[in-house]
Amino acid sequence: MESVIFPDVEKVLVAAIAAELSSRSEPVAANVHVSTIKPSPQKTPYPSKIITLRSDGGTHLDHVRRMERLGLSIFANTYAEASELARLVEAVVRTLTGNEIKLINVVSSPIRIDEKSDQEHRYMTLEIITKGSDLN
């Protein structure tokens, strides 16, 4: 049996979401910090809009396909901006299939996380099916 390596879905999605948002004309899509971690509070200027991704792992569907679950946190300075950005991200991620990502399913659409923070927070979960490539 051949050895198969799977893509780093966090890396692939961070790049894809950042690129897709930067190409959009909606004002809410401008200047969004997309990463796997939230910036340090000491970062200046601190981003007004942030998206963080976290893989929660997954399971192999067969020898060359794997399903992973990811959590996305969306932060913005106002309720309206956080909601609008979260809805845009939900729409955008469904289109990000290609060579490595074969299917993206939104398992939980954006929900508001009520927490003591200077920013509004939305959270959503995805299931992603990826295709591995031959390691040899």
Q: pLDDT of 43-102, one tens digit each? A: 999 999 999 999 999 999 999 999 999 999 999 999 999 999 999 999 999 999 988 999
Q: Is the pLDDT of residue 2 over 90?
A: no
Angle 9-22/79-93 helices, nearest 10 degrees?
A: 110
Q: Is the peptide bond before 41 cis (omega within 30 degrees of 0)?
A: no
What is d(CA 83, CA 75) in angstroms, rounded to the nearest whole number?
9
Fold classification of 4-134 (topology level): STM4215-like (3.30.2000)
Give the amino acid at 50.
Answer: I
133 alpha-carbon distance from chain centroid: 22
pLDDT band at 116; cut points 50, 70, 90: confident
- Whether residue 1 has pLDDT greater than 70: no
